[in-house]
Amino acid sequence: MIRPVTREDLPAFHAVMMAAGMDSRSSWNRTTLEGLEASLFAPDSGGFVAMKRGEVCGCVGFRPDGSDTLTLNKLATLPHARGQGIGAVLVRAVEERAAQREYGRVLLAVSQFNLEVVPFYERLGYMQSDELYTFASPWSPGPVVLVKAVQTCVQKAMT
């Protein structure tokens, strides 16, 4: 089951991120509960959690980046929950939110320390872009940016 993140989910959301095993040099590991709350509950931002047997086993966040882009971030699943399609469902939830809010695309950035996930996003239709990532950490190498166009509700109505 996928549902929108709540403030009560923050400790579990953070725990899933930390359990995901991101390289210790990544800015991901500097994420605090306070920073997570500020990111997920900023205006027009949010996230989703995946639940299995009452446990948060996956998470994803999103935030606006201009009028046409919704940025996907913080996608993680617990190691024992991988390979079950949870990550793909969470990505699709963000894409659906982007379409509902009439963003034309979803953008994400992959840490240089986590490049093995790039094929996962490419299988979901994301393409690498040479544009700069607005939210890049100055303490980490520049990320790989991936983008996917989404069909907004207005575009769907016109077809």
Least confident stretch, 38-47, 63-72, 132-141: 132-141
Q: Give the span between the Cα atoms of 70 and 53, in whole angstroms.
A: 30
Q: Give the span between the Cα atoms of 80 and 57, in whole angstroms.
A: 9
Res 157: pLDDT? 46
Banded model confidence at residue 28, pLDDT cuts 50, 70, 90: confident
Instruction: Give the pLDDT mean for 39-67.
Output: 95
The domain that contains 61 carries what CATH number?
Answer: 3.40.630.30
Task: Look up the pTM and report it.
Answer: 0.90
User: Considering Cα of 88, then 82, then 36, then 119, what sign does the dihedral take?
Assistant: negative
Show the domain range for 44: 2-158
CB 45 within 8 A of CB 64: yes
Using the predicted structure, report yes or no on whether residue 108 has a pLDDT greater than 80: yes
Number of domains in the chain: 1
- Please give the single-letter amino acid code of residue 76: A
Instruction: Give the pLDDT mean for 2-12.
Output: 97
